[in-house]
Structure 1
């Protein structure tokens, strides 16, 4: 009689061989390579550069390379100088708050002045006192400027001038500057002035009269220390305080629905301005 061969228990069953069990499947990663995923995270964490800074960065890198070739030294200092210059021209992504009447800060920095003044002549606004909010940018701040509201560029005018310290009140009238007037979708006029400072010797403005613009989008750049003034429509109250830090394209400077009453306090109401366009989606 032939001998009967005992059946082999299936892998993983009692008496089976653990070493023959199928390996555990790795956790699902969505099919994405881990290295590519890590590179994507790093790329998203590093802000892009404003195009206006690329020639400056290239010049600093070239100078650092020349010093290294001529002296055989200075590699670390050259890399540091190039990296610092690149950081100055960063243009981080910003998300405007969903407030249709909000006037957003045009720049990163510190609120240095809040005052009632007659707008400068180049803005061609009514010659009556309005609230001016001045944001001072140090050399460590992001130096791109952003549109404060949805609307259309009504005018742009450049004025040459001095290079006084940008935190001085008279810098608004004496320094080199570039002024624009934004006509909002509700018919209000908002003035924004880029002002050069002690170290700032170049103002760049990338919008022209007639351009349709969106709140928070980048429109200009000031190199190496500066100031940006925002002139609110008559009667609109500020929502920031002296010394407050602002984030360009996100911090709300004022709301067009909040007005100052005769006693200088604020309240909610309408300005009586005719609506010239319906609110529409923007990027």
Structure 2
């Protein structure tokens, strides 16, 4: 397991806060109140550990299959439905949404291979990521991949109530490889996929999925 590059800043800040809090605790709190010093140490150690845990990248064997649309992230399937898109597409699409808790791995991966034909960042609110309106009102970044079969898939990174930054590494015109990194969302979020209606869904609501491993749908 290794740490994601997006964690360098937050980990450095968290480490400084850890040292500062414990330094002040041992200087300002009497040694007779050792249990308070110990409480501060335990609390800050847990919080620092959570920051390291959040930016982890576990070692995995990813599933590359050009006939499949893979999960773009770890999390829980919270939406499977037909929708009227709010951008790029004009016709109905099949939406599959995966919610990531703060305990999930937060690396976002390309669900398919294809040319990036659209990339757009939208400022917005910070509604909880499972809120129905988070797809259209929250801070988000959308990209569209055009597969070799001519079909297109939109992947939308959506910030949640705790998320404070969306990172997307793709640019229009580049060819993305399936399961390689699309981006990262810090501290709680979700990813929506908008697929052609004729795709064959392979998951159900409530399923736990793993990015780059679980197949969400297949081409017809």
Verify same fold: TM over 0.5: yes
Q: Which runs of 4+ in 1 moved over 6 A?
A: none
Aligned positions of 1:128-277 closer than 5 A: 128-257=91-220
> 2:189, 2:25 → 1: CA distance?
35
> For residues 39-67 of structure 1, what are the alpha-carbon distances to aligned partners after superposition, in whole Å with 9 as ceiling and x for unaligned?
xxxxxxxx211111110011001011011
Query: Given that residues 64 and 178 in structure 2 are in contact (C-alpha distance below 8 angstroms), is that contact kept between their aligned partners in structure 1?
Result: no
Q: Tell me which of the two structures has the higher relative contact order, counting C-alpha pairs closer than 8 angstroms and 6 or more residues apart.
A: 2
Paired residue for 2:17, among 51, 63, 68? 63
Distance 1:166 1:242, change over 3 A: same
More strand by share: 2
> For residues 214-237 of structure 1, what are the alpha-carbon distances to aligned partners after superposition, in whole Å with 9 as ceiling and x for unaligned?
111122111111110001123213
> 1:114, 1:94 → 2: CA distance?
26
Secondary structure of 1:219's counterpart equals strand
Partner of 2:30: none
Distance 1:98 1:178, change over 3 A: closer
Paired residue for 1:92, among 55, 58, 70? 58
Partner of 1:267: none
Query: Given that residues 14 and 48 in structure 2 are in contact (C-alpha distance below 8 angstroms), is that contact kept between their aligned partners in structure 1?
Result: yes
Question: For the aligned residues, what is the CA RMSD?
Answer: 1.4
> 1:63, 1:198 → 2: CA distance?
23
Query: Given that residues 61 and 78 in structure 1 are in contact (C-alpha distance below 8 angstroms), is that contact kept between their aligned partners in structure 2?
Result: no
TM-score by length of 1: 0.70
Cα offset for 1:156? 1.0
Paired residue for 1:117, among 51, 76, 83? 83
Secondary structure of 1:87's counterpart equals helix
Structure 2, unaligned stretches of length 5 or more?
27-36
> For residues 242-283 of structure 1, what are the alpha-carbon distances to aligned partners after superposition, in whole Å with 9 as ceiling and x for unaligned?
0001100111011113xxxxxxxxxxxxxxxxxxxxxxxxxx
> 1:205, 1:119 → 2: CA distance?
21
> 1:118, 1:227 → 2: CA distance?
19
Aligned length: 208
Partner of 1:260: none
Query: Given that residues 63 and 179 in structure 2 are in contact (C-alpha distance below 8 angstroms), is that contact kept between their aligned partners in structure 1?
Result: no
Paired residue for 1:81, among 44, 47, 67? 47
Cα offset for 1:98? 4.8
